[in-house]
Structure 1
Amino acid sequence: MRQKGLTFIEILVVIGILGSILLLSLPALRFFEREKGLEGAAEKVLAVLEEAKTSTVASKGESSWGVSFAIQSYTLFKGSAFATRDPAFDKTETLSSSLEFSTISLESNEAVFEKLTGFPVSEGSVVLREKASAQELQLYVNANGDITQIAPGTPSDEERIKDARHVHVDYARIIDTESETMTLTFPNSGSPVVKTTILNTYVQGNALSWEESVSVGGETQKLKIQTHYLNDATNNTQFSVHRDSRVNTKGFSLTLSGDTTGDLIQYNDSGVAAAGTSLYVSSPSLQ
C-alpha cells in the first residue's frame, strides 16, 4: 500500500513551480514599487507648491513665495524671484537617485505666486520621471493658481494660448542702474497717475525685480516688472512685464529716465500691449 504524503521529487516540483511564479512576478512588483515611489515624490512636490501659494496669499513675511526646480531637486524660497530671494528661508528637497525632473516648463525654472491673488507669475509644468521605467507624472500650475497632477500631453509652447498678461521686451541700450529711474504713467482718463522708482533699489546682482500695487482712480493696480537679462554683453536687456487683466483695469506706459527717445511698452485699459516708441526696444513678445 502506497504511503500518503509528498515524495522528495514532488516537493522539488512544488518548490520549482513556486520559484517560477515568484520570478515571473518580480518585474511587476518592481514596477509597482517604482510607481508608488514616483507618486509619493509627486505628492511632496505638489505639497511644496501649495505651501508657496498659501504663504504668498497669507503674506507670510510680507513677501511672495515660490519654488525653484533643478533636475534632481526643488527649493521653496521667499521672494519674487529665485535670483533675488532671501537664502535664509530656503527649503531644499532632493529627489531620490532614481527620479529626476525630465522637463521643466516654467519661466526661469520657477513657480512664483502673486500676493493678494495667489495667481502664478506665469503658468507652466514640470515632468517628474522614474529613470529605470521611464514612467512620468506631470505637475501643472495653471493661470488661476490651481496646482494639479495631469498626464503628459499638455499643449506645446507653440500650441498654448499666449496673451498680454505676460510679455517680454528686448532692450538694446546700456542702462545705468545706479542713477536711472523707471516710471509708470497711467493716463487714467485725463487724470494721470505717475509712479517713479529708483532702479538701484530693486536691482540685486544682475537682475531687476520690481512688484508693487499702485492706486489709480481709486482702483488698485498690481504689476510686476523683472529682467531676464540686464546689460548682458550678448543679450543686452530683456524686460518681463506682468499685467493681469483680472486684477488690473488701467493702462500705462513704461519709460526709463536715461532714454529720451520714447517709452518701452504701452498698455491700454483693456490690457492690449503695444510696442513702445523707444529706438532701443523690440515689439512685445506674448508669453
Structure 2
Amino acid sequence: MKEKSFTPHHFSFENNIMFNQASSSLIKTKNGAGFTLIEVLTIVGILIVLIALSIPALRFFQKESDLNNSAEEIINTLRIAQNKTLASEGASQWGGYFTTSTSPHQYILFQGSSYQARATSSDEIHKLPETVEIYEINLWGGNEVVFERVTGHASSTSQFGKVTIRLKTDISKAKTVYIENSGQVGLTSPTIPSEASRIKDSRHVHFDYNQSVQEAVTLHLIFPDYPADNYDISFQDYLNIDKTEFDWEGIVLVGPEGNKTEQKLKIHTHSLTIFAAQFCIHRDRRHNDKALNITLDTENLINYTGAGEESKGLSSWVGEPQRQ
C-alpha cells in the first residue's frame, strides 16, 4: 500500500500578523489591563482637587505648629537664663526681654541685672515667626524678667508674670507663658495660694499698663451719669522728680445740684519705668457711690459701676484688674 505523505499547513505573513493582533486583543480584554486617556485624566483631576482642598488645612496646621513651637522656645530661653544665673555665668544675672516694637516681634536673652544695664555683646535675639505676634506682656509692670542668683527666683515681689502670643490670622489661637515668682516657667496658670485671712474686693485693685506713662499729661476722672462733675488731674504734678512714682489722693463732689456726695479716691503706682507702670486704686464703696471711668490722656484704664464693681478699661495696653 502506498503511504500518504503528510504536508504541514503553511500560514501567510499577513495571516500571522492578524493572528497576533487578535491574540493581543483577547489577552488585554481577558486581563482587563490598561486605562483609557479619559480615565487617566479623570484620576489626575481628582488628585488636583484633593491637593487644592488640603493646602489651606496644611497651612493652618503649620501656623499652629509655629505658635506651639514659639511658646516652647520662649520657655526654654527663660530656663536657659535661669540656669545661666544659677551657674553664675559671667558672674552675672540673666534674663529675658520681650518687645513688640520690631517686625516680627522678638525676645532677647540678655546678661545683666536689667535689660537697660545689660552686656549687649551677650544678647541672643530670638525672632518670632511671621505668623505669630506678642499679644500681651505682663511682667510686673515691665517687659523683662530677671532671675536671682542663688535662688533662681524671678526678680519680683508679685506672684507671677506672663507673656501671651497668638496667631496673627486667628487671634483666638493663643498661648500664655507664665513666670512664677519662684522661678517656675510653663504654660500652666499658677495656682494662687488662698488668703482666707484677708478679704479681697474692689476697694483695692492693681492693674498693669504696658506703655510708658512718664510723659502722660492728664488723668481724667469721668463720671458718666454726671459729666459736669468730671475731674482732671495733672499727671506731671503728682510724679516724683525721677518720674518713677505717681501718687494722688483726693475728694470729688459728684451728683445732682444740692445733693452731691463725696467720692474719695487714692491713685498711685507700685512700679513705674520708662516702659510701663503698675497702677493701684483705692476706692472704698462706703465713700463712693457713683459710676466712674478713669482715663489717662486717651487711654481708658479702668471702669467702676455705682455699686463698686470694677472692669478692665478699653485700652489695649491695660491688664486685667487684680483685687488685693
TM-score by length of 1: 0.52
- Verify the 8 A CA contact 2:177 2:186 in the aligned structure 1: yes
Q: Distance in 1 between matches of 2:240 and 2:119?
A: 20
- Verify the 8 A CA contact 1:137 1:150 in the aligned structure 2: no
Cα 1:125–1:154 shift into 2, 3 Å: farther
Partner of 2:128: 95
Q: Distance in 1 between matches of 2:109 and 2:240?
A: 23
Partner of 1:274: none
Alpha-carbon deviations, 1:65-85, whole Å to 9, x = none?
110101201111122221222
Q: Distance in 1 between matches of 2:245 and 2:136?
A: 26
Alpha-carbon deviations, 1:41-93, whole Å to 9, x = none?
22221111011111112222222211010120111112222122232322222
| Higher relative strand content | 1
Gaps of 5+ in 2: 1-25, 193-198, 201-205, 208-238, 248-267, 272-321
Partner of 2:176: 138
Selected match of 1:81 from 114, 120, 132: 114
- Give the 3-state SS of the residue equivalent to 1:6 in structure 2: coil
Gaps of 5+ in 1: 156-160, 169-227, 241-284
- Give the 3-state SS of the residue equivalent to 2:95 in structure 1: strand
Q: 2:163 matched to 1:129?
A: no
Partner of 2:186: 148
Q: Distance in 2 between matches of 1:286 and 1:63?
A: 35
Alpha-carbon deviations, 1:97-155, whole Å to 9, x = none?
2221111111211111111111112321111222124332221111221111248x999
Alpha-carbon deviations, 1:165-200, whole Å to 9, x = none?
xx99xxxxxxxxxxxxxxxxxxxxxxxxxxxxxxxx
Q: 2:243 matched to 1:232?
A: yes
Selected match of 1:106 from 139, 143, 146: 139
Give the aligned length: 175
Deviation at 1:39, TM superposition (A): 2.2
Cα 1:150–1:10 shift into 2, 3 Å: farther
When Rg is computed on C-alpha atoms for both structures, the one with the higher figure is: 2
Q: Distance in 2 between matches of 1:66 and 1:233?
A: 22
Q: 2:70 matched to 1:41?
A: yes
Q: 2:56 matched to 1:27?
A: yes
Cα 1:52–1:286 shift into 2, 3 Å: farther
Q: Distance in 2 between matches of 1:286 and 1:67?
A: 28
Q: Distance in 2 between matches of 1:63 and 1:78?
A: 7
Q: Distance in 2 between matches of 1:34 and 1:22?
A: 18
User: Aligned letter for 1:27?
Assistant: P
Which 4+ runs in 1 deviate beyond 3 A?
A: 1-4, 233-240
Cα 1:24–1:42 shift into 2, 3 Å: same
- Verify the 8 A CA contact 1:229 1:238 in the aligned structure 2: no
